[in-house]
Amino acid sequence: MCGIFAYLNFNVSRERRYILEVLFNGLRRLEYRGYDSAGISVDATVNLDREAAHPPLVFRQAGNIDSLVKSVYQEVVTTELNLEESFLMHAGIAHTRWATHGEPSPKNSHPQTSDRDNEFLVVHNGIITNYEVLKETLVRHGFTFESETDTEVIPKLAKFIYDNTKEEGGNSVTFSQLILEVMRHLEGAYALIIKSRHFPDELIACKRGSPLLLGVKELDDEATVGPSFNDTKFLSSNGQPKELFLSSDASAVVEHTKKVLVIEDNEVVHLKDGGAFIFKFDHAKGEHGGTSTRPASVQRALSVLEMEVEQINKGKYEHYMQKEIHEQPESLTTTMRGRLIRGGLCKSKSVLLGGLKDHLKTIRRSRRIVFIGCGTSYNAALAARPILEELSGIPVTMEIASDLLDRQGHMYREDTAVFVSQSGETADTLQALEYAQENGALCVGITNTVGSAIARNTHCGVHLNAGCEIGVASTKAYTSQIVAMAMLALAIGADTISSQERREAIIEGLFDLPGKVKEVLKLDQEMKDLAKLLIAEQSLLVFGRGYNYATALEGALKVKEVALMHSEGILAGEMKHGPLALVDETLPIVVIATRDACFSKQQSVIQQLHARKGRLIVMCTKGDAASVCVGGSCRVIEVPQVEDCLQPVINIVPLQLLAYHLTVLRGHNVDQPRNLAKSVTTQ
């Protein structure tokens, strides 16, 4: 959930002011991953003599990044720190936190330190599950702990091992050897960046289960951004002026360079003398990390980011969530680009999913398909389940990842497990993936992040290509997930002659979908007016059924996430089994009643709610206002009609707009909702 960032310049002179601003801007790009506290560390002086050098400076502050920036510059004035001092080589680290262990406060913020002299400093994303055991051991050896975090054991463990090595005469231990030994003692999921005054101008990055990537920029490399650039040159210690970046996410790196290396689990990346040296930690053997062993460096290839800086800027919009809602016509287009085929010699319509073509036969032979996800991703899978069942003829079940793990639910070799995650790094979903693989299931990934853990570790999958999503509440990724899973259903059912007409109608609907979404976005002002009427309400119910049960859940979730208003998505067929007791003249209720097989049933629901004086807001198909609005007493939201399985894409957009405007009108932070973060990489 946290965001970690580091900047290292080699043989290029940078002033302290510049270094601070690079670190601050990196954190701003990662703030969606956590924003309750933040911190950075930079050098106090140029490291000419590692033993005589002053301890690194550490700045930590509760609150958002701007709070940290303000406190740093206040301290700069107080201490008369020279911001114009230049460093030919310098390694700085930074962190923005989503609290798990210990409340948001300076002492619990990162970087966490080994001692008062800041011999070892660590920024961390993840959870160390055995930290209590390590802490007890370190306390017995005389260490004093200042914070309530699990992270603090890491720098103290590094100091403990380093001091013992020195006492034993092992003066030649390298930074990478030391951290490999530290890793041998750590359990849990983590991404770490470690800085030490004993190894000036060096950084170590390592990971297990949490995302981390390296960006590489040589000052004369701007012309070589194509796929054929020399990987070895960029990663080697060749003396060239160079800037290196470590980040939880590509969004903090793309404005500096597009050349990146996605760090894999159990890799240790040692940044030294302008080079990146990569070592593998064999967790099974647990011996590569021994300080007496010098593991061999492994070779990895750089890749080129397919991302533009414009994607991570707000542009003409006030908030990222607003921007991403209005980007949906474009994001849906890119999700479908090159995958829908219309015309040709036989003038047939079909779907081509390159990441699945070698596994379609296996999927068609499955005894069942299991969708696994969390939150919004689970809702998207729920929206796609009916069409997948219809076109594939295979039973489809739904699993919330954490619940599957808690129950140790049955998975079989004959199952196809579909893992849905916007980030591709969701901790519960990754553990469920590992569980499914252990049980022999075919694993399919649906994610928006190329190179993510789910993308790498599933047998096959579909990338959403929806573009970078920075607002914590997912919007465009949700609609792209539904479309991707609809295309998955079309691909699986492509060999069934009896459903050909249905498939072709859906494909035609997919071609028209971006235009229909553009049309429904014109309801923006209408949704703002509705939000004004609901601004003081304490609760909202959303009723849906069939394809739009998922829409009810997701619409309620959006209001809950960002507007901080109690809202509940309810299966309309369950209305008389409890929820009807809540209905009175004060409770606002949204009923989704667009034209599909459940339309007449939803009309009945509206009649019953009206009879109990419910305050009705009905979403219906254009032209159906008279059919759904009993006696003209309810507010109507009219949306364009599309194929029933695609209607959830249309119907969620007004509810996204409603949630957005409610949040802004109520004065809450729409991009950074209270207590939430974007990428849930901890359990």
Token pair of 101 as six digits:
């262990």
| Annotation marks residue 443 as catalytic | no
Radius of gyration of the chain (CA): 27
Look-up of token digits 């201490």: 79
d(CA 402, CA 43): 42
Angle between helices 175-183 and 153-167 (to 10 degrees): 120
Neighbours of 384 (CB within 10 A): 28
What's the helix, strand, coil split of the chain in %, to 5?
Answer: 40, 25, 35
Q: Are 160 and 141 in contact (CB under 8 A)?
A: yes
Q: Active site residue: 2, 374, 460, 645, which one?
A: 2
Among 167, 195, 198, 169, CA closest to 49: 198
According to DSSP, the residues that pair with 541 across neighbouring strands are: 568, 589
Burial class (CB in 10 A: 0-12, 13-18, 19+), 144: exposed
Cα–Cα distance between 43 and 81 in angstroms, integer? 11
CA dist 244 and 441 (Å) reads: 40
- Long-range Cβ contact pairs of 501-509 (< 8 A, separation 24 or more): 502/390, 502/391, 503/349, 503/350, 503/391, 504/348, 504/349, 505/643, 506/387, 506/643, 506/645, 506/646, 507/340, 507/342, 507/349, 507/350, 507/351, 508/342, 508/349, 509/642, 509/643, 509/646
Distance (Å, rounded) from C-alpha 681 to C-alpha 34? 11
Are 184 and 171 within 8 A, CB to CB? no
**In sequence order, which ranges of 244-372 are alpha helices (DSSP H)?**
320-326, 328-336, 360-364
Cis peptide leading into residue 514 (ω within 30°): no
User: Which sequence positions are flagged as catalytic?
Assistant: 2
